[in-house]
Amino acid sequence: MIARRTALGTMAGALAGLAMPAAAAPHAPRKLPRLREGDTVGLVAPATALTLPDELDRAEYWMRGMGLVPKRGAHVTEQDGYLAGTDEARAADLNAMFADPDVRAIFAIRGGWGGARILPLLDWATIRANPKLLVGYSDTSALHLAFAARAGFPTIHGPNAASRWEKASWESLWHLGFAGVAPVLGGEAVEVETMRAGRTITAGTARGRLLGGNLTILSTLLGTPWVPDFDGAILFVEDVNEAIYRVDRMLQQLKLAGILDHAAGVVFGQCTHCNPDDPESVGFTLDDVIDHHLRPLGIPAFTGGNIGHVRNQLCLPHGATVELDAEARTLRLLEPIVA
């Protein structure tokens, strides 16, 4: 667990080891307001209802530990079936946070399912006019992808507010959202019991817009207007609790949709609890399936690293331009996303 004082004390040393780009990436998206101690941040529940014990309290605890002031969405404690209120209520909270001039960033409290249901209800004109950091992962991938398609500014694929904000998570958020630097993300091993080791599939470097997120959410949005252009992108995916044959099916869907063939590079992060013992998955390992789909592309690609449903997951600048180094297994941001 990282208290704000302890975390902030590590920043000077962490910054000293960062590699900075020589020049900014061309056609960079709009920059966002950087976070500062004392800023108000919105807490929203765009998907599944908050039913876990102390979930909202934990989210507020982490925000205060970062030196931020949490502000709850008006409907975050509501429940409609398995959702955190009606679609209209969940969309209204997100719209209100973007319209509120006192709110500097917005964190999803948890994932689950339901973010895709509110996409047509969001006030995209207000969102575009008020760029702010949006942070979350898992089902929040639906929002990240839609924002990359519609909003014109990057978001942060990282822990939800109620997740465990440990060292790698907090420091990568601090670099991206507070310090306004362009860090190198990944490369170092982080000891997490559920994490698969990193592995280079095809060596090389590539530059492109970083897009992706949860594999299940991405695959379900294909064919809709909420998916950004992946031509020349650096694609990253992760997932949890999926049988290997279903991962195979979703990667094939990306292939048939042209996503894989048009990507400049690919990172397959963690697939946590993707069970090789499932009777429908016997015959191929997860590495077999990943290799089947990524190795023939002939583009820089690697797997592993702390991206996904694991502790100490990295915050990633979704929608920003990065350089992938498959041999080092790193992503280097080419220009800060905040000003």
How far is 222 from 330, CA to CA, in rounded Å?
Answer: 27
- Annotated catalytic residue, options 138, 163, 172, 219: 138
Contact between residue 135 and residue 162 where contact means Cβ atoms under 8 Å apart: no
Q: Is 281 known to be catalytic? A: no
Q: Is 238 known to be catalytic? A: yes
How far is 306 from 193, CA to CA, in rounded Å?
Answer: 11
Q: Is 169 known to be catalytic? A: no
Q: Give the CA angle between residues 133, 324, 252 to the nearest 5°.
A: 90
Q: Which of 165, 162, 112, 174 is nearest to 138 (CA)?
A: 112
Burial of 65 (0-12, 13-18, 19+ CB in 10 A): middle
- Both tokens assigned to 268: 């397959």
Contact between residue 140 and residue 115 where contact means Cβ atoms under 8 Å apart: yes
- Annotated catalytic residue, options 171, 238, 242, 323: 238
Q: Which of 263, 260, 236, 261 is nearest to 317 (CA)?
A: 236
Q: Give the CA angle between residues 335, 36, 89 to the nearest 5°.
A: 95
Q: 3-class DSSP state for residue 240?
A: strand
> Of how many residues is the chain composed?
339
Contact between residue 271 and residue 247 where contact means Cβ atoms under 8 Å apart: yes
- Annotated catalytic residue, options 75, 157, 309, 318: 309
Handedness of CA 210, 309, 40, 90 (dihedral sign): positive
116 phi and psi angles, rounded to 5 deg: -65, -25
Contacts of 22 (CB under 8 A, 6+ apart): none
* Catalytic center residues: 138, 238, 309
